[in-house]
Amino acid sequence: MPLNFYDFTIRDTPLQQQQRRKQFTFEPRLNASYDATPFWTLSTTIDRQNTFGEIDDVFYGYLLRTYRNIERRNAPLPANVSHGGRLNASYRNPVASIFGHISYSKRLIDNNLIYITQINANGAAESYALALSNRATNQVLMAQVSKYFTELSTQVTLEGQFMQTERPQIINGVAATVRNQIRSMVFD
């Protein structure tokens, strides 16, 4: 049964702060695979995950990250619930020594904290977290193809990836959607 129980206790004795979180979580995962032909395999996965941040995400005072960036996380423990799915297609032809793989995944993440950044006139940034529900999305498209050349004892691989993350944030008091995109291509 995909049930978990979490019990977190956080104490900051010098600042006289503490919090406790007890929670049952339901984290199912479903996988399916289908051999369409002797060369092609199709598969999919859907799941639900709960994450609670890192120990570095919980502190009550200020933390100077760089000379221009100060953070404060005087907020509840980060608690995220994400729902995701992935589609895969794989090609394997050992006789011709050609192998390929393509996948697409999407994840919706419900967060309990939103991050606020205040950028001052001198370029310094002050960041802190606020207890406010919001949703982020993450999408990844990945492809790879490789060929082994027996006469050269060499394998040639071409792979590419596109990743996009969108999340709400408040910057200088204005609600915004921060979008990060990463594109990569590797020939090896």
Segment 90-123, tens digit of pLDDT: 999 999 999 999 999 999 999 999 989 888 888 8
> 136 with 111: CB under 8 angstroms?
yes
The average pLDDT across 16-26 equals: 85
pLDDT in tens, 44-75: 999 999 998 776 667 777 778 887 888 877 77
Q: How many CB atoms lie within 10 A of CB 111?
A: 21
> Is residue 129 exposed (0-12), middle (13-18) or buried (19+ Cβ within 10 Å)?
buried
* 126 pLDDT higher than 90: no
Report the alpha-carbon distance of residue 48 to residue 115 in Å, rounded.
Answer: 23
CA dihedral of residues 93, 95, 98, 99 (deg, nearest 10): 40
pLDDT in the model for residue 87: 98
What share of the chain in percent tops pLDDT 70? 97
Looking at residue 141, its pLDDT comes to 98
Report the C-alpha gap between 89 and 112 in whole angstroms: 35
